[in-house]
């Protein structure tokens, strides 16, 4: 079966990130707690490129309620913790969420890109 836009989707309602969260496929983890896991992107676009993924399978930012806002906030804290652990917190780093098709979201499980180790241009491409 040919995979569509969401190439990483492995079955209905599931993505490759769910398998990584459950440890069913390997990843290079840099952080994990009860709510989130952070691991290195398989296609890095910066010297350090880490994905922060909530264990709850939000599809995107649109797929959340006010009751879940604390989890979304926690993801930002994890992004900062990743930057500290990667050693570029003081130099500066970028956090990106691609939300939806025109923003380039490929995996339908909310994730934050934490990018560091080089200078970044603005506006982003």
Longest dimension (CA), the chain: 46
DSSP symbols for 69-88 = HHHHHHHHHHHHHHHHHHT-
- Which of 39-47, 52-60, 61-69, 73-81 is the region at the interface with ligand DGP (rule: CB under 6 A)? 39-47
- Which of 53-61, 63-71, 74-82, 101-109 is the region at the interface with ligand DGP (rule: CB under 6 A)? 101-109
Residues 90 and 60: their CA atoms lie apart, in Å, by 29
In this chain, which of 13, 23, 42, 73 binds ligand DGP, going by CB under 6 A?
42
Q: Is residue 43 a contact residue for ligand DGP (CB under 6 A)?
A: yes
Report, in Å, the least distance between residue 77 CB and ligand DGP. Answer: 20
Q: Is residue 14 a contact residue for ligand DGP (CB under 6 A)?
A: no
Q: Is residue 63 a contact residue for ligand DGP (CB under 6 A)?
A: no
Structure-token pair, residue 8: 């990483």
- Give the position of tokens 């910066």: 46
111 carries an active-site annotation: yes
In the chain, DSSP finds a helix count (H) and a strand count (E) of 2, 7
By annotation, the residues acting in catalysis are: 111
């Amino acid at each position: 079966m040919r995979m569509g836009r969401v190439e990483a989707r492995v079955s209905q309602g599931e993505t490759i990130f769910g398998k990584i969260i459950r440890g069913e496929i390997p990843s290079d983890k840099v952080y994990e707690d009860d709510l989130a896991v952070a691991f290195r992107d398989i296609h890095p676009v910066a010297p350090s490129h880490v994905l922060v993924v909530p264990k709850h399978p939000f599809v995107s930012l649109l797929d959340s309620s006010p009751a879940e806002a604390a989890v979304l906030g926690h993801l930002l804290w994890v992004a900062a913790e990743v930057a500290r652990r990667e050693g570029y917190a003081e130099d500066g780093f970028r956090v990106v969420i691609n939300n939806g098709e025109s923003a380039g979201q490929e995996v339908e499980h909310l994730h934050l890109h934490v990018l560091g180790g080089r200078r970044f241009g603005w506006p982003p491409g």
